């Protein structure tokens, strides 16, 4: 197995830090810098597509790791305390302790088609039969309706903020399209986190 990447190391260290108590991003950043000084070079700036985000690259990776853990439902930002908290991990560990010695009963399906799958509300969405219940399904829905929404051209889609770069149709004399950036979320309440992130505020 290959060596862990900084992203993987930072994800695990965020979880380890929050096992002790909820913490703000500033303290998480400091703990990761103390733990992995060789990975946290402040001289390497976070610059993407010629835009300087005003922070070191390693700090940008830490924030991406936070978002990945948030999307997985493992951590959550408390809007009152502005601290990150563990959500599912402690519960999962307790469950695993109680079932570790239980043997798997016979008859559990192993073929993927036989496994139980959860879907959203049934809706007539043309190419989708069910309403989205995941972040990825929201992206798929957008891609399917991009023409109707006025965004016919997708330049890229990625996992970090912002999620996508598209071109929107406009009615101007000398221009037909304008570049726009999109952040996909399953719940509208999840946008609040981006309004508290200074680097995210700078991107329209």
The SS3 assignment for 49 reads coil
- pLDDT at residue 202, as a whole number: 67
Pick the closest to residue 203 from 188, 181, 185, 184 (CA basis).
181
Residue range of the domain that includes 180: 116-201
The residue whose two tokens read 């559990």 is 108
Q: Do 136 and 64 belong to one domain?
A: no
The answer on 89 and 125 residing in a single domain is: no
Q: Cα(25)–Cα(82) distance, rounded to whole angstroms?
A: 8
Number of independent structural domains in the chain: 2
Mean pLDDT by 10 residues, the chain (204 residues): 74 88 92 91 79 82 86 84 79 52 50 59 80 88 90 90 90 82 85 69 66
pLDDT reported for residue 99: 47
- Phi and psi at 52, nearest 5°, equal -90, 115
Task: Please indicate, yes or no, if residue 55 is contained in any of the structural domains.
Answer: yes
Q: What is the pLDDT of residue 75?
A: 86
């Amino acid at each position: 197995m290959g060596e862990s990447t900084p992203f993987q190391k930072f994800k695990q260290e965020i979880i380890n830090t929050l096992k002790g108590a909820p913490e703000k991003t500033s303290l998480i950043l400091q703990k990761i810098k103390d733990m992995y000084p060789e990975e946290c070079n402040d001289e390497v700036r976070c610059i993407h597509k010629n835009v300087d985000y005003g922070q070191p690259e390693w700090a940008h990776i830490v924030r991406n790791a936070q978002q990945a853990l948030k999307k997985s439902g493992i951590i959550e930002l408390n809007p009152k305390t502005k601290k990150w908290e563990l959500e599912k991990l402690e519960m999962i560990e307790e469950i695993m302790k109680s079932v570790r010695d239980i043997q798997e009963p016979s008859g559990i399906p192993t073929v993927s088609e036989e496994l139980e799958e959860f879907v959203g509300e049934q809706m007539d969405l043309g190419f989708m039969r069910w309403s989205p219940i995941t972040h990825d399904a929201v992206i798929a829905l957008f891609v399917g309706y991009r023409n109707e929404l006025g965004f016919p051209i997708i330049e890229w889609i990625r996992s970090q903020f912002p999620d996508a770069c598209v071109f929107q149709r406009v009615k101007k004399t000398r221009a037909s399209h304008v570049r726009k950036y999109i952040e996909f979320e399953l719940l509208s309440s999840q946008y609040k986190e981006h309004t508290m992130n200074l680097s995210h505020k700078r991107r329209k």
